[in-house]
Chains A and B, each alone.
Chain A
C-alpha cells in the first residue's frame, strides 16, 4: 500500500531510482575488483565525481521540494548546504588531532597561527561523530526555522523571499571569510585525515562515501515522495496555486511553509555533510550566492515539481559543467546563463517535460487512460512561478 503510493504511481522516479540503485551496486565492484587496465574499470576520479553529483542531486531534491511544490523560491539553499558541510568539516578537523602542521593536540593549525590559547566553545563536542551529525541537522534547521518564521509570518513571498535568502547566504559568506570567526577564514577547513577511523583518501573510504551518498539520496527521495503524496502534499500544492483560498479553507499557511522549509534545509545540509569528505575541503566560497542560483538552474533544467526531474537536472547540468570547464573555464558562466534563459523560454517543464513530449509524439496513440495520467502529471508539475 505504502510502496504503491510512493513508487508505483511514479514511473519516472522509478526509472531514475533504478539507475541509481544499479550504479550503486556496480560501481564499487567495477572500481575495487576490476583491474585498472580492463575496459570496465571505473576510475577513482569517476567515483569521486559521481559521489559529488549524488550530493548535488540530494541538494537539488531539497530545492525542488520547496520551489517545485510549495512555490517558494529560495536562492539561499547553498547556505544550508555549506553549514552542513562546515559541521562535517569541523568533525573531520577534530579527527586530525596532533597530526596538524604545528602538532597541537587540540587546536587547529589556523587557530595556532592566530595565537589562540584554547578551543572556542562552538568547537566543543565536534570530536564526537554523533554530535557532529546532530549539528549537521540542527544548525541549518534552526537557522531555517528562525529565518522562515520571520519571513513567512510577515508574508514575504516570491521575489522578495528570493532576494532575502540571497542576502542571507551572502552575509554568511562574508562572516565565514573572517578569520576571527574561527572557521579557518578564507582557506576554510581542509587537510582532513580520516573519517570514522578510515583514511579519508583510501579507495575503500571513497567508495563507502559514494554508496552512503546514493543510499541517502534514495531515502531522501522516498521521504519527499511520502510528503508530496500525503494530504500535506496536496495542501502544499494548494498553497502554491491559491494561497488565500488555502488560508480561507482553514489552513495555517505559514506553518506548512515553515515545516517544509526546515525539512528542505536539513536535506540540503545532509548533502553538504556528505559532500565535504568527498571533496576534502569546505570554504566560504560554498556560501557564494552564485552557487545557490546554480542549484535552482539544476532543478529548472531537470523539470521542477517532479522530484526525479531535480535529480536528472543535477546530474546533467553538472556533467555539462565538468565537460565545459575542462574545455573553456570562462565560458561556463555564459553557458549556464544561456541555459537558464533557454529552459525558461523553451522548456518550462525541463528535460522531463521534453522527454514526455517526445514520448507522446512517438506513441501517437496512447491508450486514453495513460494519456490522461500524463496530462495530470504535467499539470501538477506546472503551476505558476
Chain B
C-alpha cells in the first residue's frame, strides 16, 4: 500500500526498500537529507508537535534549541521510528519514507541517535561497545557465527582515536567518566556509519574542558555526516552552530544563524528574554 503510494509520488524511481543500508546510496540531489513535513503528535490531546517542518541538508551541523516541552525529544522519537505521528511525513533523502520503517531498520539505514542520558553498555568494554554498534549484518545467525573482519577492526580503532579513547579500549564502559561515556556513545553512532546523527544534549553535566572536546568532536563531523544537536547550553550552541532552529510548542519558531535567532523578537519573548 505505502509502496504503491510512494511509487506513484516518485514515478517508480523508488529503490528497493529492503536494502538494509539504504543510507549509503541516498538520493539527496535536491539538497536536504532529511525532510520533516507537517508532523503532528499528540499525547492525550496535548500536542507535543504541531505541524512541524524541518529540512536538514546533507553534511550540515544543525542545532535545535527550545524551552522544555518544545518537542525536541519527541521530534527525535519520530525521526528514529520510536513514535508514530498522527499526521505528516518524514523522508530520508527523497525516496525513503521513514514512517513506514521500524527503529532497527532506520538505525541500519543510516540514522544514529544519542540519548539524553548517556546510554552505553556498561558491562562491556569500550571496544565491545563499538563492536556492537558496527555497521554490518546484524541478523541473529551472523552475530552468532561470524567474527569481525579485519576491516571492521580497523574501523573500530579509527573511531577509538576519533573520540579520544584509544587508551580505554579494554576498560569497562561502566567505569568511564560521564563525559567519556558521552563520547563513547557518539563513537557508537559513528560505528554505524550514519548519514544523519541525532545528538540529544551532548554536553549536559560536562566540565568546561569536556565541553570543548565535545564541540571539537562534533564540528569535525560536519561535512561527512549531517549532525542534529539538541542542546540547552547556549554557549556551546554558539560555539558550534552554523544554523539554529528554535522550537516552541511543537513547531518551528525561528531559524537562522545564532545572531539572527537571538535578535528575533519572538524568540526573545518565549525563550531568551527573561
Which residues of A are in contact with B by a Cβ distance under 8 Å?
Answer: 227, 230-232, 234-235, 237-238, 241-242, 244-253, 255-256, 259, 375-376, 379-380, 382-383
Give complex CA distance A382, B124 in Å.
Answer: 12
Classify the secondary structure of A's interface with B: helix
The smallest beta-carbon distance between B37 and chain A, in angstroms, is: 23
Contact of A232 with B107 in the complex, beta carbons under 8 Å: no
Question: CB of B123 within 8 A of chain A?
Answer: yes
Q: List 9 A-B contacts (CB under 8 A).
A: A235-B132, A244-B103, A248-B104, A248-B107, A248-B113, A250-B135, A252-B139, A376-B123, A379-B122
The smallest beta-carbon distance between B144 and chain A, in angstroms, is: 4
> If A231-B131, A231-B147 touch, does A245 touch B124 (CB 8 Å cutoff)?
no
Contact of A245 with B103 in the complex, beta carbons under 8 Å: no
> Max chain B CB contacts within 10 Å: which of A232, A250, A380?
A250
For A376, list chain B residues within 8 Å (CB).
123, 172
Ranked 6 nearest A-B pairs via Cβ: A250-B107, A250-B108, A232-B143, A232-B144, A245-B119, A231-B143
Residue of A nearest to B121 (CB): A238
Contact of B104 with A227 in the complex, beta carbons under 8 Å: no
Restricting to B95-144, which residues have a CB under 8 Å from any CB of A? 102-104, 107-108, 112-113, 115, 119-124, 128, 131-133, 135, 138-140, 143-144
Give complex CA distance A86, B115 in Å.
Answer: 48
Which residues of B are in contact with A by a Cβ distance under 8 Å?
Answer: 80, 82, 102-104, 107-108, 112-113, 115, 119-124, 128, 131-133, 135, 138-140, 143-148, 172, 174, 188, 192
For A227, list chain B residues within 8 Å (CB).
144
Give complex CA distance A234, B103 in Å.
Answer: 20
Contact of A242 with B140 in the complex, beta carbons under 8 Å: no
> If A231-B147, A238-B124 touch, does A248 touch B139 (CB 8 Å cutoff)?
no
> Max chain A CB contacts within 10 Å: which of B121, B145, B146, B188?
B121
For A248, list chain B residues within 8 Å (CB).
80, 103-104, 107, 112-113, 115
Give complex CA distance A247, B113 in Å.
Answer: 10
Give complex CA distance A230, B145 in Å.
Answer: 7
A379: contacting residue among B107, B139, B172, B192, CB under 8 A: B172
Question: Other than the known A230-B144, A379-B174, what 14 A-B pairs have Cβ atoms closer than 8 Å?
Answer: A232-B143, A234-B124, A237-B123, A241-B121, A242-B119, A242-B121, A245-B120, A247-B104, A248-B80, A250-B107, A252-B102, A252-B104, A379-B123, A379-B172
Contact of A247 with B107 in the complex, beta carbons under 8 Å: yes
Residue of B nearest to A382 (CB): B123
> If A230-B143, A259-B140 touch, does A249 touch B123 (CB 8 Å cutoff)?
no
For B188, list chain A residues within 8 Å (CB).
249
The smallest beta-carbon distance between B169 and chain A, in angstroms, is: 14
For B119, list chain A residues within 8 Å (CB).
242, 244-245
Contact of B107 with A241 in the complex, beta carbons under 8 Å: no
Residue of B nearest to A239 (CB): B121
Give complex CA distance A30, B108 in Å.
Answer: 58
For A253, list chain B residues within 8 Å (CB).
104
The smallest beta-carbon distance between B192 and chain A, in angstroms, is: 6
Give complex CA distance A129, B83 in Å.
Answer: 51
The smallest beta-carbon distance between A246 and chain B, in angstroms, is: 8
Residue of B nearest to A238 (CB): B121
For A247, list chain B residues within 8 Å (CB).
103-104, 107
For B139, list chain A residues within 8 Å (CB).
252, 255
The smallest beta-carbon distance between A124 and chain B, in angstroms, is: 33
A238: contacting residue among B104, B132, B145, B192, CB under 8 A: B132
Contact of B144 with A234 in the complex, beta carbons under 8 Å: no
Give complex CA distance A343, B135 in Å.
Answer: 41
Contact of B144 with A245 in the complex, beta carbons under 8 Å: no
For B132, list chain A residues within 8 Å (CB).
231, 234-235, 238, 246, 249
Contact of B140 with A250 in the complex, beta carbons under 8 Å: no
Contact of B115 with A245 in the complex, beta carbons under 8 Å: yes
Contact of B140 with A255 in the complex, beta carbons under 8 Å: yes
Give complex CA distance A253, B123 in Å.
Answer: 18
Contact of B133 with A249 in the complex, beta carbons under 8 Å: yes
Residue of A nearest to B80 (CB): A248
> Max chain B CB contacts within 10 Å: which of A248, A252, A259, A375?
A248
